[in-house]
Chains A and B, each alone.
Chain A
C-alpha cells in the first residue's frame, strides 16, 4: 500500500471524534454491499467511542485489528473508511453529487439548435416589382412578387397592394414604404401656364410648381398626377392628385403663390 494513502487515512482518523460514522453514511458509499455494512457494524466501526479506544490502545494497528474482525481486504477497508468520512464530514469534504453543468450546457445547445431547425422563424421575404410601375399608379397584386429576404425583412405583397407609387418603380427593384402612399389627395388649382396645360394629356405625372408671388420667398415643386383641366373663361383650373404627405406643404403655398404645371418625363 502506498504510504501516502496510509498517511492520509491516519490524518483522517482525527476527524472520527467530530464525524461519527453511521449506517446511513456507509449506505451512501457507491457500490457498497449490505454484507460489508454488517461486517463494519459488527467490528464496532459505527461505535465511535469503542473505535477510538481501539485506535488509542492499539497504537496504529487499527487496520490490522479491523481487518481481522471484518475479513475485508486492507485496501477495501481503507476505501470504505475514507469514503464514509468524505461523504459524512461536516463541512463536506467532497461535493455529494457530480457536477453536471457541462452535460446541461451541451443539452441546452443541442436543444437550441434543434428548436431553431424544427421551429423556424417566420419566413423572411421582401417584395419586388414584377413589372415597371409608373408613378401615381395604384398597385395591383400582380404588379408585385415576393422573394426570400436576405436582410431580415418581413414584407408581403398584401401590404403594398392598393397603394400608389410616387415615382417610377422599375422592374425587379425592391419596394420600400417610402416609394408608396396609401391615399392621394385631390387638389384643384388655377394654372398660370395655359400653354403647357393645353398640351398635357390627362392622367399624366407632372410637377406642380407653386411659386411665391413675393420674389424672395421662393416656392416648391410637388410631384402630382394631372387628372383634369377645366376652362372657365380665361381661367384654367387643373385637378391634380398629390400624396397625402405633401398635403400640408401644398397648403402652405396655396393663396400666396402662383401655380404652374411642369411636365415630367414618364
Chain B
C-alpha cells in the first residue's frame, strides 16, 4: 500500500501540487469540518481530524489516498473545467447568449470610449492643448486600449459569455492578429521548442491560474452542497436563521468569486507569457518544422504562417498551396496566401551574353478563388544581372520593386487567368564576377 502511495505521489508534479492539490486539500478540510457536522453523518471524521494523535497509521494512509485520488481526478478535469468557465459548452444556451450580449456591450462601450478619446486627443493636439488634460486623455486612451487588448478578442464574433473566457480568447487570438498564426494549433508544437526555463515560467503561471480556478470551482460546489444539506438538516424555518452554516455558504460564495477574479488576473499573466513565447520562439519553431526560409518582413511572415497553419490544422487537405522548405529560385507570394497557382519558368539564350527568362503564372486554384495580389520573387543566377527596362507582364512594361532578387507585383489574378512575366539577364564580365 505504501509502495502504491509512493508511486502515486511520485506522479504528482510541482504544478499539480500548487494548482490542484492545495485546493483539493482545502475542499476536503471544509467538507469534513464544516459540511459534515451539519448532517447527521460523518461526525467521527471531524473528531479524527481535530485530534492530531489520529494522524497516523491506517487513517493517514486512507486520507492520503483520498487526497491523491481527488487531486488526480481534478487535474485530469482541468481542461474541461477551463472550457466550462470560458463558456464554450453553454455559449449557445439562453443564459450563454444573454451573457455574450452583455460582454459585447462591454466591448462596444470600450471600443467607443477608446475611439472617442482618440478623437478628442487628436482635437486637443490640433488645438495644442497641453498639461493635465493631455495627460488624462493619454492615460484613459491607454486604459481602454489595454482593456480591449487584454480582456477581449480582436473581433466581436469571438466574444464568449464570461470575462475569463474572453481574457483567454484574447491571447489565443493575439497571434492571429499579429502573425496570422493559429495559437491553438501551434501551441503544442511551440512547447517543444521553448527554453526549459521559460517553459517552467509558463507552467508556474499556469499552475497559479489552475489554483485559482480549482479553488473557485470547489468553493462553489461546497457552497451549493452546504446550502442543500443545511436546508435539509438545519431548516431555518424550524431552527431560525444564523445557525452558522448560512454564514459559511456566504463565505464560500465570496471565496469562489474572489478566486474567479484572481483566475482572471492570472489568466492575463498566463496570456502574457504565451504571447511572449510566440513572439520569441515562433521563428525557431518554423525552423524545427523544417522550413529554412526566413520572412523578410511581417507581411511575408503572416503569409507563411497562414500556409503552415492551414497544413497543420487540416492535414491532407489539397486546397492550399505549399510553403517551400528552402528559399526557392522562384517564389510567388499571393494574397490570400493559400491560393494555389501554377508556375513555369523557362530560360532562353538570346545571344552570347544575354538570356531571356519567361515565367508563366496561372490561377488553377481548386476552389476557383481569385487572387487579390501577387508578388513574384525570382533569384538572379550568379554571374548575371538584370537588364534594365526589359521586364514586361503580359507584354506591358512593368516597374520592379527590386532587381536582385527580382521582385515584381502582378496585381489581382482571376481564376483561370494567366500572367506572363518576361525579362532579360545579362552575363557579368568574368572579372566582375571574380
Contact = CB atoms under 8 A, between A and B. Distances in A.
Interface of A: 3-4, 6-7, 10-11, 13, 59-60, 98-103, 106, 109, 112-113, 116-117, 120-121, 123-124, 148, 150-153
Contacts of A150: 234, 239
Contact of A152 (B39, B95, B368): B39
B93 A98 contact: yes
A60 B95 contact: no
A106 B94 CA distance: 11
B257 interface: no
Nearest to B337: A3
Given A100-B94, A109-B224, A7 B367 contact: yes
A102 B88 CA distance: 11
A121 B231 CA distance: 8
Contact of A102 (B89, B235, B336, B367): B89
Interface in B81-100: 89-90, 92-97
B93 A102 contact: yes
Contacts of B55: none
A61 B382 CA distance: 44
Interface string B363-400: 00001111010000000000000000000000000000
Contacts of A10: 367-369
Given A98-B92, A99-B90, A103-B93, A60 B370 contact: yes
A4 to B, nearest CB: 7
B242 interface: no
B239 A101 contact: no
B315 interface: no
B4 interface: no
Contacts of B94: 98, 100, 103
Contacts of B414: 59-60
Contacts of B90: 99, 101-102
Nearest to B416: A59
Contacts of B93: 98-103
B369 A3 contact: yes
Interface string B193-236: 00000000000000000000000000000001001100111110
B297 to A, nearest CB: 20
Nearest to A150: B234
Given A117-B231, A121-B232, A152-B233, A59 B415 contact: yes
A113 B369 contact: no
Contacts of B415: 59-60
B369 A6 contact: yes
Interface residues of B, number: 34
Given A3-B369, A11-B319, A123-B238, A106 B95 contact: yes
Contacts of B96: 102
A152 B40 contact: yes
Interface string B279-310: 00000000000000000000000000000000
B237 A120 contact: yes
Interface in B228-278: 228, 231-235, 237-239
B182 to A, nearest CB: 12
B271 to A, nearest CB: 24
Contacts of A100: 92-94
18 contacts: A3-B336, A3-B369, A3-B372, A59-B368, A59-B415, A60-B414, A99-B92, A99-B93, A100-B93, A101-B93, A102-B89, A102-B90, A102-B95, A109-B224, A116-B231, A121-B235, A124-B233, A152-B233
Contacts of A3: 335-336, 369, 372
A207 B187 CA distance: 83
A162 B335 CA distance: 96
B89 to A, nearest CB: 7
Contacts of B32: none
Nearest to A151: B40
Given A60-B368, A98-B93, A124-B238, 4 more contacts: A102-B96, A103-B93, A124-B235, A152-B40
Interface string B29-57: 00000000001110000000000000000
Contact of B338 (A7, A102, A123): A7
A113 to B, nearest CB: 7
Given A11-B319, A121-B235, A113 B227 contact: yes
Contacts of B372: 3
A113 B415 CA distance: 63
Contacts of B224: 109
